[in-house]
A and B are shown apart, each in its own frame.
Chain A
């Protein structure tokens, strides 16, 4: 069989151009986008036993990112199971939706209602409907769980794709963190679409949120190359019994048709170069097959946390932890708050780690602690830091009492209680006196909790003995008449200043222009007078006019009075060889000495004058 590779290449290029052209045209065509955002929240079950779970799915259409704040409901614990997104273009219409899944774990039987809560999607805030359900008595342990999965069961291409899970144990405790590695293998060259992250089958385990950017590698398995996607996560059992642990993943495979198969059988073509999707389009069609990958189930026995020996302060923490505290400052005045930092570090289910209880007593006042988790790479490893403000009520207090933190260690199969040593502190009392209770303190009207008890004052309150100046209301200055009036006044003054400045500027400009025009007019008239004088041979008139012209012109240039310009000024300010000096001197000599001028001389002077004054503008 002979293949014309040049033709193939040309066809490939043509196909690529055509393919992308169609796609771009489709996308660039004004598409009717689904702008409206809608919300739906659904429960998978309306009744289930207390040792089971139900799923809460919140779907937002028309948005890709949302902000959900689930309400607090007593005796219900919500576990996030991740999210899935979907985008589609149908007949030019683009729509997108995102679904957030939560597993609801009840703590007690009863009727529950998840109240309406807000979901923020893009610029819209939507509210769900209340969801009611019933939690019934526990069923016997080991009851086969609901599949929890309504994934379509399609034919799986066994050699092309498969799913594995590693890191499991045969026996675990409720709440224990099990680091798992989920790997999805895809035969190299097969085009795959994955629309959803892997999910646990059943409701006995919860998985910590998986990354949307998992690790991608290439591995060889049974002599074939596979693209491998790896998610590292942590699973945690939530109900006791023996259950299968398995993970599933929905995917769509684009399998090649006959030509591909024919090619596949030729060893020459079993090369990565020919594993290009383009050849599928060129040499044959693609068949879409939706598959539900499922890992091999592994039976795991989930044991309950023992009741015997359970410490009173145990809150459900399972793992291996360390507990430290510090206080800042260690020297302070009576009544000053102290920042108590409690750090619990290690591995385990940090979401069940709560702040150690500060022992109750009449020596300390405590406030609600804040919590912050710092991960060291995973959701089950790191440290949880609790900051709590405490205030000493008595100056005799010399130490922050011991604090305890209890947890269950699944490896040691026992409860561990970590206790801190009392932390010495120093209370500085300025007056050396015990604080006094305020006289006649009225009993509190609103609360009976420890946090609301009134503290004794440490210093007398200064009362004002004068009434001061009364005012009608608390208003910002910009709402007060005097402020507004002052602003308006200053603005008017400013405008006035600007207008006056502009007027002056234009007037000066006009004056300069007027002067210039006047000068030009004068020069023109004097020029014609000079000509007439030359024609008449009137040297007296001629020289008189010359003198006046020179005085007027230089007065304009030098910003002087014309009559103030004398021969000396010309000699000082003009070049020595300037004809104007000679003409001016001749004119003065004629006035005082009766000098005569010939018509030729007059004509020469006329031309020189014109040249000089013409150059000077």
Chain B
């Protein structure tokens, strides 16, 4: 091998090493690493940095109840209670039985004077589960019902079959009704800005009929331009700017850099 060839190979090898190292360095951090870094920022009181970090995790890897919980805590630490409640509610959509998120949500609502409206007995019953949980109950009951009938076809289960089937049908009905009643809450939204006024009409110079607290749970009925017509849990209604309102269970959420918080 000539000297020139050796030199050329050496240079090529050097490039390969440098390029490979650069590629390795450019490789994305794992979600766990990003989480650790975000948690460290939170612990140091750097809430805005923590918020950005959590949002990056969500933008890169998708939604998870744990990350949404931490993001909510960061918003709460930063004084943005509306956005904090929004993230908690989103976390609960994904993990309805998460007691930690539920506890922090109740704490922040209590601190901000956001009290639940008194509910009737039926409402309390249907609020035991959220929509997805009721749907799951309905699905499981339906599967059992179908399986029982199918088994009965070849292995007759005469004793008690009729009663069990009736019970399952009742369970399917109640669960479906529960899912239907909770449907509105699923697609509700949160007021994320303080001092949001409820306007009579959907334009900025319209007079107001009152104000609505940051963090209030509301339901959007229609949109006109840059305004949503919303109704809160007590029945008050009016127009609010789209910037003040965020839907909890949107079909697509973007958390990337430069995107408005969704």
Contacts and interface: CB of A to CB of B under 8 A. Distances in A.
Nearest to A483: B139
Given A470-B61, A471-B64, A477-B139, A461 B146 contact: no
A361 to B, nearest CB: 18
B76 A461 contact: yes
Nearest to B252: A473
A402 B57 CA distance: 52
B66 to A, nearest CB: 4
B195 interface: yes
Interface string A338-378: 00000000000000000000000000000110000000000
A72 interface: yes
A564 interface: no
B249 A442 contact: no
A191 B31 CA distance: 87
B66 A440 contact: no
Interface in B229-262: 248-253
Nearest to B133: A477
Contacts, number: 161
B79 A69 contact: no
Interface stretch (A10-18, A276-284, A286-294, A492-500): A492-500
Contacts of A500: 153
A264 interface: no
B31 A467 contact: yes
B131 A476 contact: yes
B113 interface: yes
A525 interface: no
A494 B64 contact: no
A472 interface: yes
Given A445-B79, A474-B90, A464 B67 contact: yes
B115 A474 contact: no
A463 B42 contact: yes
A88 to B, nearest CB: 32
B77 A441 contact: yes
Interface in B115-169: 115, 131-132, 135-136, 139, 142-143, 145-146, 149-150, 153
B200 A471 contact: no
B32 interface: yes
Given A464-B66, A464-B70, A477-B135, A442 B47 contact: yes
Interface stretch (B4-12, B13-21, B201-209): B201-209
Contact of B149 (A446, A464, A497): A497
A471 B66 CA distance: 12
Interface residues of B, number: 69
B78 A442 contact: yes
Contacts of A237: none
Given A445-B79, A468-B67, A497-B149, A463 B143 contact: no
A118 interface: yes
B31 A73 contact: no
Interface string B57-73: 10001111111011001
A474 B131 CA distance: 12
Contacts of A471: 62-64, 94
Contacts of B110: 335-337
A73 B207 contact: yes
A477 B115 CA distance: 29
A118 B200 contact: yes
A474 B146 contact: no
Contacts of B153: 497, 500-501
B146 A494 contact: yes
Contact of B150 (A69, A446, A493): A493
Given A115-B200, A468-B67, A486-B139, A444 B35 contact: no
B76 A440 contact: no
Interface in B197-225: 200-201, 205-209, 211
A508 interface: no
Given A441-B77, A475-B251, A470 B62 contact: yes
Interface in B15-74: 31-32, 35, 39, 42-48, 57, 61-67, 69-70, 73
A469 B64 contact: yes
Interface in A113-143: 115-118, 127
A118 B237 CA distance: 13
Given A337-B110, A440-B47, A115 B135 contact: no
A159 interface: no
Contacts of B181: none
Given A442-B78, A465-B39, A116 B64 contact: no
A162 to B, nearest CB: 44
Contacts of A118: 200-201
Interface stretch (A58-66, A150-158, A447-455, A593-601): A447-455
B73 A487 contact: no
B216 to A, nearest CB: 12
Which bracket fits the contact residues of A? 35 or more
Contact of B143 (A444, A464, A486, A497): A486
Indicate the member of B45, B80, B207 with the most A CB atoms within 10 Å. B207
B77 A438 contact: yes
Nearest to B62: A470
A462 to B, nearest CB: 6
Contacts of A470: 31, 61-64
Contacts of A476: 131-132, 135, 183, 186, 249
A306 B111 CA distance: 43
Nearest to B65: A468
Nearest to A74: B207
Contacts of B150: 493, 496-497
B228 to A, nearest CB: 16
A616 interface: no
Nearest to A496: B150
Contacts of A117: 200-201, 207
B100 interface: yes
Contact of B79 (A116, A454, A468): A454
A448 B153 CA distance: 72
A501 B31 CA distance: 54
Contact of B132 (A116, A445, A462, A477): A477
Contacts of A490: 142-143, 146
B191 interface: no
Interface of B: 31-32, 35, 39, 42-48, 57, 61-67, 69-70, 73, 76-80, 90, 93-95, 100, 104, 107, 110-111, 113, 115, 131-132, 135-136, 139, 142-143, 145-146, 149-150, 153, 183, 186, 193-195, 200-201, 205-209, 211, 248-253
Given A445-B79, A464-B35, 15 more contacts: A337-B110, A391-B113, A440-B45, A442-B78, A447-B195, A461-B104, A464-B69, A467-B32, A468-B67, A468-B95, A470-B63, A471-B62, A474-B253, A476-B131, A487-B139
Please list the 6 inter-chain residue pairs (A to B) with the smallest Cβ-Cβ separation, ordered nearest first: A440-B45, A71-B207, A470-B62, A468-B66, A464-B66, A468-B64
25 contacts: A71-B200, A71-B207, A116-B206, A118-B200, A368-B211, A389-B113, A391-B113, A446-B194, A461-B104, A463-B42, A464-B66, A466-B32, A466-B66, A467-B57, A468-B65, A471-B63, A472-B63, A473-B63, A474-B249, A476-B132, A476-B186, A483-B135, A490-B146, A493-B150, A494-B146
